[in-house]
Amino acid sequence: MVALIDGYDVALFDLDGVVYLGPDPVSGVPEALAQLDRVGTRLMYVTNNAARPAATVVEQLNRLGIDAGLDQVLTSAQVAASALAKELPTGAKVLVCGSDSLASLLSDVGFEIVDSAQAQPDAVIQGYYPTLNWSMFEEAALAVQGGAAWYATNSDATRPTDRGLVPGAGAAIAVLATVLRRQPTIFGKPYRPMLAEAIARTRAQRPIFVGDRLDTDIEGAVNAGIDSLLVFSGAHGKKDLVTATAMAHPSYIGSDVTALLRAPRIATLSPGQAVCGAQKVRVTAEGASLVTQPDGVEEQLDALWALAQLAWQDPELDVAAVLERLDLIG
């Protein structure tokens, strides 16, 4: 069998919703990552979460049974610090609307960290930080209105956990955007700096990015000009896939990271129908219709992939009946 990963030299992974959910690994993922390492695939973990230092992420991965080193983790905070070091002069004042880890990275590259608008900061940067207090929002809003440049590490609206979705950095950005009526400059996925840095660090010739979010992970891969695998272990599901914009179409789909070790899922289109594996979806006067009955998860994923091709071709196509039958996919 030719596995999906056989066409790539480096696999880049999002973390939340792909490798783990809260404190627990996604089932089967540590074993799949170990197998990828054994077959010679270079691995890097690329996270938009800017709250924790890379060393803490490495510790978590190791606790979950995943062999990873510091050189295999890239955070949006690291990318932001590197980018700002090129954009702002040494010694510039930066108000950090985020974690101590983000502040430390910025201090390390030569910025003066301040905590109020009265200090007349040159820039404000936001990053994911679940214990951020409201007064910091106020100081950040006032600083930007006073002329400070506005940046953010990433814009993920939500973060998947073992208990469900919780607000992400994008939700915090929305608070300031409501006041300021504009958006910050963003470094993390789906914007190019994040994956460009990951590709440079791994010296990848043909990388693939694995993510659970269409608007950050998959769109980020499209922006970077690389292939992607959407997995259904995290934030986005089947309805999100079939309604995705052209800039967020994944190259492949799978239930989880183990899809990299299976044969790639390929769909073929012909007038009025799409076929993937043994699954066939047709276009009728009433909308999309399943010709076959997919029983297991993999068969349902085949049917979903066929359906996605038709839905992307005709956004007005009624896909509700087929999605309802794919009850093993979220």
User: Which position has the token pair 């108000």?
Assistant: 95
Catalytic residue among 16, 212, 217, 302: 16
Residue 289: strand, helix, or coil: strand
Is 16 an annotated catalytic residue?
yes
Residue 87: strand, helix, or coil: helix
Q: Give the E-state strand segments of the chain in sequence order.
A: 10-13, 20-21, 24-25, 42-47, 73-75, 93-97, 112-114, 123-126, 149-152, 158-161, 164-167, 185-186, 207-211, 227-231, 252-254, 267-270, 273-276, 279-284, 287-290
Angle between helices 192-202 and 76-87 (to 10 degrees): 100
Catalytic residue among 14, 122, 215, 302: 14
- State the Cα–Cα distance between residues 266 and 206, nearest whole angstrom: 19
Using CA atoms in the order 52, 53, 57, 62, what is the torsion angle rounded to 10 degrees? -140
Strand partners, 304: none
User: Which position has the token pair 């490798």?
Assistant: 19
Alpha helices in 146-268 (DSSP H): 169-180, 192-202, 219-224, 238-242
Query: Within 10 Å of residue 160's Cβ, how many Cβ atoms?
Result: 23
Contact 99, 125 (CB under 8 A): no
Contact 129, 99 (CB under 8 A): yes
Is 256 an annotated catalytic residue?
no
Query: Which active-site residues does the annotation give?
Result: 14, 16
